Amino acid sequence: MDTGFTGYTPPRTDALRPRKKPKGKPLNAVWNMINRGLSRLRVRVEHAIAGVKRCHIVADLYRNTKAGFEDAVMLSACGLHDFRVSCRSAA
């Protein structure tokens, strides 16, 4: 999670947030390393989300009203992204 979501925790999740620097004091070296690791993980997650959104049906407004189709579209987009990544690393 980003530090902008300080007051919000989604239900049934374990969210890790970076530690903010206290006013007038430097951040502990241990927390600097933890924050750097969280940042690296967050960048990978953001890139994966952007890769899934390459299928514009996920990013644009979806107007189909049939039940369960939203999940099928997201699963298809995630599968296509995984396939694209696996083919890229094999070549």
- Asked whether residue 80 is assigned to any structural domain, the reply reads yes
- Asked whether residue 31 is assigned to any structural domain, the reply reads yes
Number of structural domains found in the chain? 1
Instruction: Tell me the pLDDT tens digit for each residue of 7-57.
Output: 677 778 777 778 888 899 999 999 999 999 999 998 998 899 899 999 888
Q: Is the pLDDT of residue 84 over 80?
A: yes
Instruction: Tell me the pLDDT tens digit for each residue of 52-77.
Output: 999 888 888 888 878 888 888 889 99
For residues 52 and 73, what is the distance between their CA atoms, to the nearest angstrom?
A: 11
- Asked whether residue 81 is assigned to any structural domain, the reply reads yes
Domain that holds residue 41: 27-90
Cβ contact 58:77 at 8 Å: yes
- Asked whether residue 60 is assigned to any structural domain, the reply reads yes
Q: What b/e readout covers 43-77, taking b as 16+ CB neighbours within 10 angstroms?
A: eeeeeeeebbeebeebeeeeeeeeeeeeeeeeeeb
Q: Is the pLDDT of residue 5 over 80?
A: no
- Asked whether residue 20 is assigned to any structural domain, the reply reads no
